[in-house]
Structure 1
Amino acid sequence: MRRGTFKDETVDYAAVGATQAPDLMQYPPERSTPAEESWRIGSGEARFQTASESLLAWVAQKGADLTVKDVRPASGPMYSGVSFDAEGNPIAPSSSEVEQRFDTDGTPFVAAGTTIVVEGRVKGFNADGELRVIFAVEEPRRVGFALGTVGGSVVSGEESFMLEWHDNDEVWFTVRAFDRPVAILYRMLPTLVRRRRRELFTRYLRAISPLYTTPA
């Protein structure tokens, strides 16, 4: 089991970890637009394990037509630390160290404290930004992480990606987010925030779900 959380003052929003709040959709952080979607992406342990490996290798982001670069693991030893359970409750820290893993191309896997730079476009608008992994969790039936904005993005906020292998053998992929507009255009036209989010959710699902896989 791996758990980790990283909190740092350099993120550009205050409600760190709020994507794990059960009442996010009813009470989002101030001036933020919340969003949540869940999809059944298959069933069985093999489906869960495959999706988990993909998720931790940044496939959701890469498959969303975003370029992931400048992946920088947190400085110092990695550790199992405070995380959140399925109900959003914090879990006490542990002192055991966590080994850093890498994708086949040498890119570090998702880990608490990792900072990345993403570049791309969503609905014709800039989607560049610097993001930090706020927490990461790997459990036998639950794997996921949350990304928080550090700077350079048109919105400020957090998004979490969670895979769960339920007792009925179904595998579900859930994405939750809250966004506060930063760019002038997004502040003037808040509907663009919702459009941006809907498009990103669709892209994430297509990246992780085998139902959207196309033959090579």
Structure 2
Amino acid sequence: MSEESVPFTYPEVGATRTDPPAGYHRFRHRRPIGHGRALFDRAAEHILGFGMQKGVGIFQRADTETALAGTELRLLLGVGRFGIGAPCRVVYVLDEPDRRGFAYGTLPGHPEIGEELFAVEYDPADDTVYGLVAAFSRPGSWYTRLGGPIARAAQGWMARRYLATLPTDEE
């Protein structure tokens, strides 16, 4: 794990816990994936083991096998040799009775500036399990600024791909 000598690229560290800050593009994708505590536990294990990032093929490496506060990870955004390295650090880990997951924030060299939350939620009222991806970001490089609306659409597309990696009732 990092000693956090490299600062995050944004001052609102941890803001995915509450309301995202103004001045950023914000999104929240939440969808039901099935029912039951067993599914909730399987989905939490998947998320905390960087399963979403591995499942969409952007994971390169992490300092730890599971998400822990301070874990540094490197993602590769793009396709093949045209990929762009994206360094991040886990800001916090959720370990609540009905919510589990983690958020990471961007480090220098990441093409975006901001934070992203990956979580699973359990609703005890009806036994439903939900996958959640939420983020706030803004361009961190000339090419993401140039991408404008296309870059924003790509973020939404990627969030839906992350959610598609989660286990479901059928598995």
1:12 aligns with 2:9: yes
Q: Structure 1 residues 133 and 60, CA, compared in 2 at 3 Å: closer, same or farther?
A: same
1:55 — aligned with what? 47
Unaligned stretches of 5+ residues in structure 1: 1-5, 74-107
Q: How does 1:1-216 map to 2 (within 5 A)?
A: 10-22=7-19, 24=20, 28-30=21-23, 32-69=24-61, 71-73=62-64, 108-121=65-78, 126-167=83-124, 168-210=126-168
Q: Structure 1 residues 52 and 181, CA, compared in 2 at 3 Å: closer, same or farther?
A: same
Residue type matched to 2:25 in 1? T
Unaligned stretches of 5+ residues in structure 2: none
Provide the rounded CA distance (Å) in 2 between the counterparts of 1:14 and 1:125. Answer: 30
Residue type matched to 2:63 in 1? R
CA positional deviation for 1:152: 1.6
Runs of 4+ in 1 over 4 A off after TM superposition: 6-9
Provide the rounded CA distance (Å) in 2 between the counterparts of 1:64 and 1:142. Answer: 22
Residue-by-residue CA offset, 1:82-104 (whole Å, 9 max, x unaligned): xxxxxxxxxxxxxxxxxxxxxxx
Provide the rounded CA distance (Å) in 2 between the counterparts of 1:192 and 1:7. Answer: 32
Provide the rounded CA distance (Å) in 1 between the counterparts of 2:143 and 2:170. Answer: 32
2:103 match: secondary structure: strand
Q: Would you say the 8 A contact 2:42–2:167 is kept in 1?
A: no
Provide the rounded CA distance (Å) in 2 between the counterparts of 1:155 and 1:126. Answer: 14
Q: Would you say the 8 A contact 1:42–1:170 is kept in 2?
A: yes
2:165 match: secondary structure: helix
Q: Would you say the 8 A contact 2:112–2:140 is kept in 1?
A: yes
Radius of gyration: which is bigger?
1
- Comparing 192-201 and 143-152, the one that deviates more: 192-201
Q: Would you say the 8 A contact 1:126–1:154 is kept in 2?
A: no
After superposition, the CA RMSD in angstroms is: 2.4
**Pairs aligned (count):** 167
Q: Would you say the 8 A contact 1:130–1:149 is kept in 2?
A: yes
Aligned-residue identity in percent: 30
1:105 — aligned with what? none
Question: Which structure has greater helix proportion?
Answer: 2
